[in-house]
């Protein structure tokens, strides 16, 4: 009988923090500046420069630690991780090894197989490296230090996950927690959230873990799922053939759906960690910790429970809306303005998600003002515009954040209910469509719909559909 295997997975997740300035200097963390414009002597490793810790980094790390049930080390230190690489200007990275800021936490995930807590071993603060750009034309490599010194936290899980499904659930939960805290936008594609997967397999029932590999270069949840399945299959195949799994770092190629060895344990670096003598220990007072605790916002789980209780919207909607901090914020702000949760939810669940999908955008990228959506709902409810026009105006709000009332005014989109105007148009439509008229009279109810459509078309969508319907029935009756 074939042997049964179990997959054991632990994750190292890097999250780029949303601070305005870098972790050890005052340079901007903004994305996309011209190369080496967001730099100074500190983040380019000039001789004699010294790091000074950004307090906001500590607060974000604490906030994430608290939200994931971690213990906070109120006396923590920075260590130097020594290795030579040109993207690392000092040839050491300032990180935390001996006393990381958070440790021993966990978060609960829910999958088809039920609820489960995934342990968090530690969270530590560190600096990001620069970026190497290979110039094919001149055959040389250039370095951009704009990203050098951008603050990161690394969240190291326990090896508690057993499937790709659990991994995705864990990452999704983690992403939401961090986004809700405002600590990062957590975009996998842009690299503001990166996950390395440590994976081993063992026979079901075995007590010892198998030899693990670490996989890097995973740029989407889908890639992570594929990499896990691919690596699991590769390791099982090795074991079935009686070959050993080698402890090594592998690079996942999502196009080829295969991982390639980067370096084995034998040629792994000896990082020669030691406490950074340029930085003093971070001492977190009880008061500081309490202040951060007091500022913790409502997180997803609590928000979802509140939505179910507070708003009369379907459970499914509540889950989708709270599944993105931005979407939830827009929902709450708009609802607070117009007092119509159901209608706000409909706009977000319907048109908003449709347009996001069409544009390949994330809800986090929504830019329109909640005031404008609230106004649109008000205009619709008041009968100032009809549903068709509302959708058109909403698109304008979605893309250009226009003020709806002025837009409707300027473009003459107000709903026309005036009997005289409508009557003239309807009479014209009846005259122009004798076939439909006789169909309707012959009992084909559908033909009426066509005539309503024709009228709306002539009215450029602005007609009051109820009034048109009534007029047609009257004139044909």
Partner 1 sequence: MIRKREVSVREAVQESLDCVAALDGTLNCFVTLDGERALARADEVQRGIDDGTLGGPLAGVPVAVKDNICTEGLRTTCSSKILYNFVPPYSAEAVCNLNAAGGVIIGKTNMDEFAMGSTTETSAFGVTRNPWDPEHVPGGSSGGSCAAVASCEVPYALGSDTGGSIRQPGSFCGVTGLKPTYGTVSRYGLIAYGSSLDQIGPIAKDISDCAAILEMLASYDKKDSTSVKREAYDFTSALVDDVKGMKIGIPSDYLGDGLDPEVEAAVRKAADVLRQKGAIVEEFQLSLVEYAIPAYYVIASAEASSNLARFDGVKYGYRAPEYEGLHSMYKRSRSEGFGEEVKRRIMLGSFVLSSGYYDAYYLKALRTKALIKQSFDRAFENYDVILGPVAPNTAPRLGESLSDPLKMYLGDIYTISVNLAGLPGVSVPCGTDAKGLPIGVQLIGDCFQEKKIIRAAYAYEQARGSWQGPADLEKRCDRIPEHAASGEAAGPESACVSKEVG
Binding site for partner 1 (CB under 8 A): 41, 44-53, 80, 82, 84, 86, 89-92, 143, 270, 272-274, 277-280
Compute the distance between CA of residue 159 and CA of residue 149 in angstroms, rounded to an integer.
Answer: 29
Nearer to partner 1, 265 or 457 (CB): 265
Nearer to partner 1, 117 or 280 (CB): 280
Nearer to partner 1, 95 or 184 (CB): 95
Structure tokens at 38: 């967001």
> Could you tell me if 116 and 94 are in contact, meaning their C-beta atoms sit under 8 angstroms apart?
no
Q: What is the DSSP letter of 161?
A: B
In this structure, is the dihedral angle defined by the CA atoms of residues 180, 183, 185 and 186, taken in order, positive or negative? negative
| Minimum CB distance to partner 1, residue 366 (Å) | 39
Nearer to partner 1, 221 or 271 (CB): 271
| Minimum CB distance to partner 1, residue 80 (Å) | 5
Nearer to partner 1, 31 or 273 (CB): 273
Q: What is the DSSP letter of 351?
A: I
Of 417, 405, 398, nearest to 378 by C-alpha is 405
Other Cβ atoms closer than 10 A to 208: 7
Give the helix, strand, coil percentages of the chain, each rounded to 5: 40, 20, 40
Q: What is the DSSP letter of 144?
A: E
Nearer to partner 1, 8 or 143 (CB): 143
| Minimum CB distance to partner 1, residue 236 (Å) | 32
| Minimum CB distance to partner 1, residue 55 (Å) | 12
β-strand partners of 93 = 81
Residue in the structure block whose two tokens are 């499904």: 165
| Minimum CB distance to partner 1, residue 397 (Å) | 46
Of 128, 126, 149, nearest to 49 by C-alpha is 149
| Minimum CB distance to partner 1, residue 127 (Å) | 14
> Could you tell me if 127 and 23 are in contact, meaning their C-beta atoms sit under 8 angstroms apart?
yes
Nearer to partner 1, 80 or 194 (CB): 80
Compute the distance between CA of residue 252 and CA of residue 230 in angstroms, rounded to an integer.
Answer: 9
Compute the distance between CA of residue 10 and CA of residue 15 in angstroms, rounded to an integer.
Answer: 16
| Minimum CB distance to partner 1, residue 183 (Å) | 23
| Minimum CB distance to partner 1, residue 48 (Å) | 4
Task: Give residue 286's region: left, alpha or beta (phi > 0; psi -120 to 50).
Answer: alpha
Nearer to partner 1, 282 or 349 (CB): 282
């Amino acid at each position: 009988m074939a042997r049964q295997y179990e997959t054991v997975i632990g994750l190292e997740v890097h999250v780029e923090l949303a601070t305005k300035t870098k972790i050890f200097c005052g340079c901007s963390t903004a994305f996309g500046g011209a190369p080496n414009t967001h730099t100074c002597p500190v983040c380019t490793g000039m001789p004699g420069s010294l790091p000074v810790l950004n307090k906001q980094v500590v607060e974000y790390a604490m906030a994430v630690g608290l939200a994931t049930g971690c213990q906070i080390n109120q006396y923590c230190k920075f260590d130097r991780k020594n290795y030579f690489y040109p993207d690392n200007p000092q040839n050491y990275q300032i990180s935390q090894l001996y006393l990381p800021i958070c440790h021993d936490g966990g978060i609960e995930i829910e999958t088809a197989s039920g609820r489960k807590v995934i342990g968090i071993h530690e969270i530590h603060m560190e600096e990001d490296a620069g970026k190497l750009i290979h110039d094919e034309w001149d055959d040389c490599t250039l370095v951009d230090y704009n990203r050098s010194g951008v603050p990161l936290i690394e969240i190291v899980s326990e090896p508690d996950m057993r499937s790709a499904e659990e991994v995705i659930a864990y990452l999704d939960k983690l992403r939401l927690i961090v986004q809700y805290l405002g600590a990062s936008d957590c975009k996998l594609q842009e690299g503001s959230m990166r996950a390395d997967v440590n994976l081993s397999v063992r026979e079901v029932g075995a007590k010892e873990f198998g030899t693990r590999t670490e996989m890097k270069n995973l740029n989407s949840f889908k890639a992570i799922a594929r990499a896990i399945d691919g690596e699991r299959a590769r390791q099982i195949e090795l074991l079935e053939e009686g070959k050993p799994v080698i402890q090594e770092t592998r690079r996942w190629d999502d196009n080829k759906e295969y991982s390639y060895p980067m370096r084995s344990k034998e040629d792994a670096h000896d990082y020669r960690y030691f406490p950074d003598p340029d930085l003093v220990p971070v001492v977190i007072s009880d008061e500081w910790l309490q202040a951060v605790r007091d500022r913790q916002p409502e997180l997803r789980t609590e928000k979802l429970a509140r939505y179910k209780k507070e708003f009369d919207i379907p459970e499914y909607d509540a889950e989708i809306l709270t599944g993105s901090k931005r979407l939830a914020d827009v929902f709450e702000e708009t609802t607070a303005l117009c007092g119509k949760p159901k209608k706000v939810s409909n706009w977000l669940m319907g048109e908003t998600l449709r347009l996001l999908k069409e544009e390949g955008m994330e809800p986090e990228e929504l830019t329109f003002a909640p005031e404008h959506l609230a106004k649109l709902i008000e205009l619709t409810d008041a009968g100032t515009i009809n549903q068709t026009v509302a959708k058109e105006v909403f698109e304008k709000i979605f893309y250009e954040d226009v003020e709806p009332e002025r837009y409707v005014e300027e473009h003459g989109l107000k709903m026309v209910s005036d009997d005289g105007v409508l009557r003239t148009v309807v009479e014209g439509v009846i005259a122009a469509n004798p076939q439909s008229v006789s169909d309707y009279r012959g009992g084909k109810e559908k033909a009426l719909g066509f005539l309503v459509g024709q009228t709306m078309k002539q009215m450029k969508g602005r007609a009051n559909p109820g009034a048109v319907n009534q007029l047609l029935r009257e004139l044909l009756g």
